[in-house]
Amino acid sequence: MLHRLSSRPLSLARAYRALESESAGAIVVFVGRVRPDATGHGKVVALDYEADRNPALGSFREIDRAAFRRYPGVRMLLWHRTGRVPVGQIAVIVGAAASHRSAAFGAARFAIERLKVQSPIWKSDRVRSARPPRPRRSRPAAPGGG
Amino acid sequence: MGPDRKGGAVRTVRVRGFATARAALGDRLWELPAAPDGVRIDRLLARLAARCPRLAPLLPTCRIFVNDEPARSLETRVRPGDEITLHPPYSGG
């Protein structure tokens, strides 16, 4: 499947296999991962992604068609995660298979830039608070202790 | 809350939002009464913004979808049974 929204982890190996074909002399795969950015509220530990499913998949088809018009013969893959994606996991995979590298690089770059502005997908940060832990209270002495 | 029905006919337009628009709608799906011949999208959303004050400043930034398709214009009429979806600026990837 070349257009996909999934709440399950995305596999780079599967994406590559989906793009492989005898005529694909060049395959470019872009992977977007969640970064542990620092925010004013703390450090990002995950991103929550939500998508308006049907319009999002429709936008993937539109991007695919637009890439094909610019780079005839290119075969595109657009996969995006939904739900909570922890730091280090893959949030998005965009791939392009073509006869030659210039079309594959161009189409992959074109598609990820389009996806970011054209696909109804939203992310929100999940952060771990930067506040230092509160000092522990000293325990009262056990009765009869000592 | 199910759609408002009378004699089996749906009499409402549903409105839902994503991300900041969902929060502005109070994290709920709205069902707004509409006449059988429909109501303009901009008028329906103005009614909703009067009830959800956080929505008004957000609306100019939103793309509007009707039944999963982009609305051609805010003057388009929606009819009972239709669903409007509010898309604030996208941030995928």
Q: Does the CB of B27 have a partner CB in chain A at under 8 Å?
A: no
Average pLDDT over residues B37-45: 97
Chain A positions in Cβ-Cβ contact with residue B88 (cut-off 8 Å): 122
Instruction: Report how many domains make up chain B.
Output: 1
Contact B49, B60 (CB under 8 A): no
| Amino acid identity for residue B90 in this structure | Y
ipTM for the whole complex: 0.88
Q: Does the CB of B49 have a partner CB in chain A at under 8 Å?
A: no
Q: CATH code at B27?
A: 3.10.20.30
Residue-wise burial string across A120-141, b where 16 or more C-beta atoms lie within 10 A, e elsewhere: bbbbeebbeeeeeeeeeeeeee
Round to whole Å and give the CA distance between B43 and A1.
41
> Would A141 be classed as within a structural domain?
no
> Would A139 be classed as within a structural domain?
no
Q: Kindly tell me if the per-residue pLDDT of B4 is higher than 80.
A: no
> Would B61 be classed as within a structural domain?
yes
Domain housing B70:
5-87
| Residue that is written with structure tokens 């979806």 in the block | B85
Domain housing A91:
3-129
Contact A48, A7 (CB under 8 A): no
* pLDDT tens, position by position, A58-117: 999 999 999 999 999 999 999 999 999 999 999 999 999 999 999 999 999 999 999 999
Closest of A66, A60, A76, A55 to residue A120, by C-alpha: A55
> Would A136 be classed as within a structural domain?
no
Chain B positions in Cβ-Cβ contact with residue A108 (cut-off 8 Å): none
